């Protein structure tokens, strides 16, 4: 254990000393993520590269690796600590090992819509959560939206009891595990890169994803029904290694911070339009034999889903913090 700790400290120091610099002294930032380039995160990563290489030309280069080309979201967190990549943007559901606070974002029906999510993230409590993993060596740089999640399955789901016994793929999140257990479904934690195959081969029968992930990964081609539930959010934390960020020359770090602020605004502005565009493309896809059926839940049906899922908030209240949950709820009313 001591040896492991020692090696980790050495590796951290090495990465802090600029092991990622190229021979010419140019700083290289590797940005690894798991989604397609056409999604909000994919667009944001490319835009970050473009602006950095424009404004910090000759000083910083950025290499973007989309589609789990380098790492899945579990491995990327280790890679960040080891200095193998410098920036990642896992979904907020994937930080449970490092902080329990971010579990907030997985609570079903906590936010009414993406505008409420945005208000919370820009408010004081949301901003404070960016630093909730400093003890583990990570620094949150920004929140990027993808959007609200929709259920999909091979059988029509109108009421929670319709999902009984259905196997759903979930992200690495204890909250999401409880969410599906609450409706008598069977949750299965799987990496994002495995989802299409798992749906196609029947390893799982359903999933929950935002529109841009469904469309860009063709999940609608292997799911008979998509249920427009907007029951939760899938957003990202742009994250780096604390020591790496601290080791950057001050002027470069300040410019990177500025660029991140600009890109964050752009990504968060375009995400809703992109989601609505992808939703429409799914509706228009193929002919009647290929097309997935969109189920729009009525208000009464949605109330039933909410009633059965909301009690799990209590199970996580202590870990997340009552004040954090209250701030999130308050963001619905602003």
Total binding residues toward ligand LMR, as defined by CB under 6 A: 9
The residues in 91-150 that bind ligand LMR, with binding defined as CB under 6 A, are 91, 146
Q: Which is nearer to ligand LMR, 21 or 200 (CB)?
A: 200
- Identify the residue among 12, 35, 52, 77 touching ligand LMR (CB under 6 A): 35
Q: Which is nearer to ligand LMR, 182 or 198 (CB)?
A: 198
Task: Find the helix or strand (DSSP H, E) in which 148 lies.
Answer: strand 138-153
Q: Is 34 in the site for ligand LMR (CB under 6 A)?
A: yes
The residues in 45-64 that bind ligand LMR, with binding defined as CB under 6 A, are none
- Identify the residue among 150, 171, 241, 268 touching ligand LMR (CB under 6 A): 171
H helix count then E strand count, the chain: 13, 10
Count of CB atoms situated within 10 Å of the CB of 162: 18
Q: How far is it, in rounded angstroms, from Cα 77 to Cα 191? A: 14
Helix-, strand-, coil-residue percentages of the chain, each rounded to 5: 50, 20, 30
Q: How far is it, in rounded angstroms, from Cα 117 to Cα 107? A: 12
Is residue 285 within 8 A of residue 220, CB to CB? The reply is yes
Pattern 292-321, binding to ligand LMR, x per CB under 6 A? ------------------------------
Is residue 185 within 8 A of residue 248, CB to CB? The reply is no
Q: Is 192 in the site for ligand LMR (CB under 6 A)?
A: yes
Q: Which is nearer to ligand LMR, 234 or 308 (CB)?
A: 234
Positions touching ligand LMR (CB under 6 A) are 34-35, 91, 146, 171, 192, 209, 213, 234
């Amino acid at each position: 254990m001591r040896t492991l700790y020692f090696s980790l400290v050495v590796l951290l120091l090495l990465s802090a000393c600029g092991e990622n610099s190229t021979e010419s002294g140019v700083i290289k930032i590797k940005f690894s993520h798991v989604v397609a380039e056409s999604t909000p995160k994919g667009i944001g990563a490319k835009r970050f590269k473009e602006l950095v290489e424009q404004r910090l030309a000759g000083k910083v280069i950025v290499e973007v690796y989309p589609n789990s080309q380098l790492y899945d979201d579990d491995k990327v967190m280790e890679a960040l600590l080891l200095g193998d990549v410098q920036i990642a943007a896992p979904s907020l559901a994937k930080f449970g090992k490092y902080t329990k606070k971010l579990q907030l974002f997985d609570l079903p029906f906590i936010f009414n819509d993406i505008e409420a999510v945005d208000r919370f993230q820009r408010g004081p409590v949301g901003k404070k959560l960016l630093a909730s993993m400093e003890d583990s060596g990570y620094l949150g740089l920004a929140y990027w939206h993808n959007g609200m999640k929709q259920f999909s399955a091979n059988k029509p789901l109108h009421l929670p009891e319709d999902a009984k016994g259905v196997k759903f793929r979930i992200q690495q999140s204890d909250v999401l595990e409880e969410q599906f257990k609450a409706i008598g479904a069977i949750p299965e934690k799987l990496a994002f890169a495995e989802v299409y195959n798992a749906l196609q081969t029947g390893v799982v029968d359903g999933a929950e994803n935002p529109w841009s992930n469904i469309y860009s990964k063709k999940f609608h081609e292997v799911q008979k029904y998509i249920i427009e539930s907007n029951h939760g959010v899938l957003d990202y934390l742009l994250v780096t290694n604390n020591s790496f960020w601290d080791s950057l020359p001050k002027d470069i770090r300040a410019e990177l911070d500025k660029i991140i602020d600009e890109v964050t605004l752009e990504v968060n502005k375009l995400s809703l339009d992109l989601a609505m565009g992808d939703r429409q493309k799914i509706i228009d896809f193929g002919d009647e034999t290929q097309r997935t059926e969109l189920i729009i839940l009525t208000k009464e049906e949605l109330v039933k889903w909410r009633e059965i899922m909301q009690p799990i908030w209590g199970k996580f209240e202590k870990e997340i913090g009552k004040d954090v949950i209250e701030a999130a709820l308050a963001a619905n009313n602003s």
